[in-house]
Chain A
């Protein structure tokens, strides 16, 4: 007997899918993307009794019509992968809205079980739901659960297993009024006779999607059979014209109206009983009165962001110190155990200093992600998006741009790569492009260690304030850049913003830890693979070809002459190391651009680090570390990079500030550039982003450095 089950979790956004997914799989989950798109795909495995279950957390959707990428992905997964059972998570507090998607699952004829989630929250609001009656009326099992605590999950899985073993699934057939029903009666035989999309979608469902003007279905039909497709479209157009002239509504509105009517008719048959008046303001509404208030809301949002920074940098400090000590210890062990030579140099300067410099910031990233997860899971981020929408519209962006900005590091600590991909949810091409091009300005997790290092070295007494100011500045520059783009190369109309505000909820510790770990692990994997490789490559670029033979002989002769003086010997070694670095491949590039970069206060070593930063921003630190360690007489006993920079004659506060600004705004890392090229469909825009961002960064850095020089 086959004991494996393929289960898909589906439902509205904020219905509790991910909470249930985490409850079922714990840490046994894998996060990736759906093929060809960048919507996150979560897969996990668990056992239930004798069954081995593969579970997939589908993206949250309100319907199965192609209004968004998420809806397309969820629908395609259900029809292409054909899971053995679909668990539709329904928010018991918001039953009417959630059952709208359920109607479409019933029409699609998927093997369905309804998980009536947050039944405790519904009870607190005085809502009693008769699950048995609801199950009887819908014709599918309905199991009340509380995903946060796991209550009812065993019963839900029992029901899911039973449904997955059933051979036949019945397709629900809703009536949509005479106009639509007559059209369906015309469409269905035509679809069946011509086997349009046969075996993929039920004929009645295809007919409904044609009437709903579903672009993907229509396109597939036109590809499969243009003649029949045209016949169907022509009739659909007649129905649309008729409904527009009589009801002043499109067919999809009439269809939605009947679906909601069906839901209401079910709920009124003794399924839902309310103890309180429906007009009552609940805690969530009362909180919103304050949190989204025109004056109080932004103040509260600034305070929350500042609190997030204090939490991140204050609470993670002791872990950062511990990791720093750990990597120092690794360096000492390698120094004692290995003979002098290129391998030892590579291991200490390239691997330990490089990867250690990046991994040492894992605690900061981890605390930051934890803070973001709290805001996300509590429902606050949606309010932040709502409040930011007016501002975004003013700058020619869309309210939905907030999420790509936040993901990219709007609340510092994100990554521009998923941020670029998150911009896919934007429908308007120009707003999407403006978002794609400006999200790399945000302070991603990779820039954070650089900012932290420089601020700690040069602005020690005001670290939190400087970090906070850096975040505000990134927003300002990004928004101004967006406005500039929308007034010039991306001129065009704005599109509307519609978003559901989920009720405020207490996040679960389990959910927060899983979210934090997932994101931190992704950062660590990046640091441990790509960054380590680049760090070694850069070490090689900074080590080879080394000094020419005649110069090496000159230094050897100088060393013999100064044998009696340890101070002179140290000086000679420093000069030799610096000469070696200058002669390296990276040194030559850094030197070549120094005549230009000096206007921003950057010497050739800084240039090398910034070049490395194009590969990945984290590399800036490891490159600076390697560059300055190689310049020391004894690299293994070099002072920490922070102190080294603070004491370097080439660095002062003006240089540090110009460097900070340049790092924040210059060309995105190459992974982001590739993502922009992929998402925009053109390398022209990728090249534009490199040139545009570097121009903005150069302008700002030079201005700041020159002002700094004038002010002394």
Chain B
């Protein structure tokens, strides 16, 4: 059987490259105080991007920063019902905008 799925309704900012340049993107590491953010773009090694994608952190995904330490550059984000901890380097490579 074939499933029809196009991630409709997700409306990721990374979906159209031209759009990402016109919005205010910030690294996730600077958004610990934000309530909800949408991933615009992920920089870095291809295998890391692939691994992040398999964990649900991919352009268009909505993340909920949850930083218990308030200001720590290591981020904890809630995504797809799970909780991920990311180090500063990873968080700095994930560019987001307010969701």
Contact = CB atoms under 8 A, between A and B. Distances in A.
In the A-B complex, list the 10 residue pairs whose CB atoms are closest, starting with the nearest.
A261-B7, A294-B69, A262-B5, A256-B53, A497-B87, A252-B50, A63-B54, A496-B90, A96-B80, A253-B53
B68 A289 contact: yes
Given A63-B54, A94-B81, A257-B10, 8 more contacts: A139-B1, A294-B68, A390-B88, A496-B87, A498-B55, A500-B82, A501-B76, A503-B83
Contacts of B44: 496
A377 interface: no
Interface in A249-301: 249-250, 252-253, 255-262, 264-265, 279, 284-285, 288-295, 297
Contact of B46 (A63, A213, A496): A213
A496 B45 CA distance: 10
A294 B61 CA distance: 27
Interface string B52-74: 11111011110010101111101
Contact of A253 (B1, B49, B89): B49
Nearest to B4: A175
A499 B85 contact: yes
B27 interface: no
A305 to B, nearest CB: 20
A393 interface: yes
19 contacts: A95-B81, A96-B56, A249-B58, A252-B53, A253-B42, A264-B9, A285-B78, A288-B83, A289-B68, A291-B68, A292-B69, A390-B72, A496-B90, A497-B90, A498-B55, A499-B84, A500-B55, A500-B83, A501-B84
Contacts of A265: 3, 5, 8
A663 B44 CA distance: 43
A294 B75 CA distance: 12
Contact of B3 (A62, A174, A247, A252): A174
B41 interface: yes
Contact of A386 (B3, B12, B74): B74
B70 A294 contact: yes
A97 B82 contact: yes
A170 interface: yes
A65 B5 CA distance: 21
Nearest to B86: A498
Contact of A293 (B42, B69, B93): B69
Interface string A228-247: 00000000000000000111
Contacts of A289: 68
Given A288-B68, A386-B76, A500-B55, A261 B5 contact: yes
A225 interface: no
Contacts of B16: 247
B68 to A, nearest CB: 4
A290 B70 CA distance: 11
- B contact residues, range: 35 or more
A162 interface: no
B69 A393 contact: no
A400 to B, nearest CB: 10
Residue of B3, B6, B17, B69 most packed against chain A (CB within 10 A):
B3
A98 B48 CA distance: 20
Nearest to A259: B5
Contact of A258 (B6, B14, B41, B72): B6
B81 A498 contact: no
Nearest to B83: A501
A588 B41 CA distance: 68
A248 interface: yes
Interface in A485-526: 494, 496-503
A172 interface: yes
Contact of A97 (B47, B52, B80, B85): B80
A96 B83 CA distance: 12
Contacts of B14: 247-249
A258 B53 CA distance: 11
Interface of A: 62-63, 65, 67, 93-97, 100, 139, 170, 172-175, 177, 212-213, 245-250, 252-253, 255-262, 264-265, 279, 284-285, 288-295, 297, 382, 386, 389-390, 393, 399, 427, 494, 496-503
Contacts of A255: 53
B87 A393 contact: yes
A245 B18 CA distance: 10
A170 B93 CA distance: 40
Interface string B31-52: 0000000000110101111111
A236 to B, nearest CB: 12
Contacts of B76: 288, 292, 386, 501
B77 to A, nearest CB: 10
B45 to A, nearest CB: 9
B86 to A, nearest CB: 6
Contact of B87 (A279, A382, A498): A498
Nearest to B85: A386
Nearest to A255: B53
B6 A261 contact: yes
A14 B55 CA distance: 14
B50 A253 contact: yes
Contacts of B6: 175, 177, 258, 261
Contacts of B4: 175
Given A265-B5, A294-B69, A390-B74, A497 B50 contact: no
B59 to A, nearest CB: 6
Contacts of B12: 257
Contacts of A279: 64
A212 B41 CA distance: 18
Nearest to A171: B1
A498 B8 contact: no
A253 B59 CA distance: 8
A248 B18 CA distance: 10
Residue of A174, A249, A503 most packed against chain B (CB within 10 A):
A249
Given A252-B50, A253-B49, A247 B17 contact: yes
